Copies of this chain bind each other. A is one copy, B any other.
């Protein structure tokens, strides 16, 4: 598929897809006329990139972890340098920290919302929203 379709299917701008390519996060082929040609698999890949980016990881890190997230593996264990291994271990830890932080905060918001709803229900047992004046 071409860039327009991929953009639409992933909710991304074309500009950004070209940027991801420049950052070596995706590597589309080219058709005879120079147009980028994407595989079906790129849809998932782009969603994954968007998610990680939105979760605060910079492209530099994403580039490093992406290759080992493929099923089937696109990076093989022989290619794995000790350096790379350390990076992965380190990122695994960072991700866990991030997850913990987000989880704590999400749950706190959840608690808050639940309490609010509890109070709303107690004040207005009819279940309809809106406190009126």
- Shortest Cβ distance from A100 into B: residue: B51
**Could you tell me the distance between the alpha carbons of A51 and B102 in the complex, rounded to whole angstroms?**
8
Please name 5 further chain A to chain B contacts, defined as beta carbons within 8 Å, in addition to the given A65-B109, A82-B130, A99-B103, sorted by A numbering. A53-B56, A55-B98, A69-B108, A77-B115, A92-B110
Is residue A16 within 8 Å, beta carbon to beta carbon, of the partner chain? Answer: no
**B residues near A115, Cβ cutoff 8 Å:** 77
A binding-site residues for B, Cβ under 8 Å: 48, 51-56, 65, 68-69, 73, 77, 80, 82, 85, 88-89, 91-92, 95-99, 101-103, 105-106, 108-110, 112-113, 115-116, 119, 129-130
**Partner of A113 from B92, B97, B112, B113 at Cβ < 8 Å:** B92
